[in-house]
Amino acid sequence: MQQVITALRNENIGQILPNEPLGPYTTWKIGGPADYLLIPTTKAQLVRTVKILYEHQVPWFKLGKGSNVLVTDKGYRGVVIKLGNALETIRFEDHRVHVGAAYGMIKLAVMTGKQGLTGLEFAGGIPGTVGGAVYMNAGALGSDVSRVLKSAEVLLNTGELVTLRVDELDFTYRHSKLHDLQAIVTEATFELAHGDRREIAAAMATNKDRRLRTQPLQFASAGSVFRNPEGNYAAKLIEEAGLKGYAIGGAEVSTQHANFIINSGHASAQDVLTLMGHIQACVYERFGMQLIPEVMVVGER
C-alpha cells in the first residue's frame, strides 16, 4: 500500500488522509476508519487517482455526501475516494443543465427552479449528491432521476471516461447499471422543461413543508432505509408492525417516519444493522413481505 500512496503523492492528487474515521463524512455520523481517505480537488486528479489504484489493484470505494451509506464499525480496508469541490459545477444550456457529481440534489432543485426549469421539484428533499442520485436512481413524490436524466459522464475503474445515455444506464427502481460496475459518475446532464417560476417555487415550498412535518430532519439519519415493496410502503409496514420508537443501542426507528432509523446519540453501525434485521424479521413475520435495504453497507464486518 505504501508504494501506491507514494505514487499518488508523486502525482499530487490532492489530500491523502491515513486511518481517517468515516463517520463525520456520512449523514448517519457512523463508521470506522478507512486505511486512506483521498480527496482529489480536480477531475484530472480524480482520473489519475483511479488509474493508479487500478494499476496496483487496490480496492476503493467512492463517497459523496454519504447520505445513503452505512460504514461498518471496523471501517474500510482500502481507499475511500471523496469527491471534492472540483465536481460541484453547474452550467445551464437552455432547458438542459450540466451538473457535477458532487453538486447537492437539494441545491440543484433550487437552482433549476430559479431558472424557471421544471422537472426536478421531487429532488428538493433528497440529501445526497447528483452522482449518488444517478447511481441509485433516487426519487421521491412519484418521480425519479431516470425521468429527467439525458446522460451521465462516468469514470470507469480503469480510469477511462465514458458518456452513457439514459437508456444505457438500465434504470429500474432505486437501481442502475452502475451497481454492476465499479465506476464514479463525474457529471450528469438533465433535460428539463420551461415552467412558471412561481408555480415551481410553490411546489418546492409545499414539498419542503411536507418534509419538515414528516421526516426527522433534526437527527442524523440516512434517509429511507428500505425500498418500498411493490404496491406498498415500507414506512407503513414498519409502523403497522408496531416498531415506531423501537431502539437498539443508539439506533432508533423514528417516531415521525418509520422508514428512517435515526442516530439518537452514539449509535454504532452494529446497532443499526441489528435494528434493520429486527425490522425485517418483524415485517416478514406479520405480513410475509421481505424488506430490501435501500442503504449501502460498506466496510469490514
**Among 146, 151, 176, 224, the one annotated catalytic:** 224
Q: What is the pLDDT of residue 126?
A: 87
Model confidence pLDDT, tens digit, residues 34-45: 999 999 989 999
**For position 82, what pLDDT does the model report?**
94
pLDDT surpassing 80 at residue 84: no
- pLDDT confidence of residue 124: 87
Backbone angles phi, psi at 53, to 5 degrees: -65, -35
Which one-letter amino acid corresponds to residue 219? F
Q: Tell me if residue 174 is catalytic.
A: yes
Distance of alpha carbon 220 from alpha carbon 124, whole angstroms: 18
User: Which of these is catalytic: 48, 174, 176, 254?
Assistant: 174
- Provide the β-strand partners of residue 62: 81
| Residue 224 among the catalytic residues | yes
- Whether pLDDT at 141 is above 90: no
Report whether 253 contacts 291 (CB < 8 A).
no
Could you read off the pLDDT of 181-228 as tens digits, one per residue?
889 999 999 999 999 999 999 998 988 888 889 999 999 999 999 999
Residue 221 among the catalytic residues: no
Q: How confident is the model at residue 76 (pLDDT cuts 50, 70, 90)?
A: very high
What integer pLDDT is reported at residue 86 of this predicted model?
74
Q: What's the pLDDT score for residue 83? A: 86
Percent of the chain with pLDDT over 90: 87
Residues 6+ apart with CB under 8 A from 225: 234, 259, 260, 261, 276, 279, 293, 294, 295
Catalytic residue among 20, 153, 187, 294: 294
99-103: long-range contacts, CB 8 A cutoff, minimum separation 24: 99/130, 99/187, 99/188, 99/189, 99/190, 100/130, 100/186, 100/187, 101/64, 101/129, 101/130, 101/131, 101/134, 101/184, 101/185, 101/186, 101/187, 101/188, 102/64, 102/129, 102/130, 102/131, 103/129, 103/130
* pLDDT at res. 142: 86
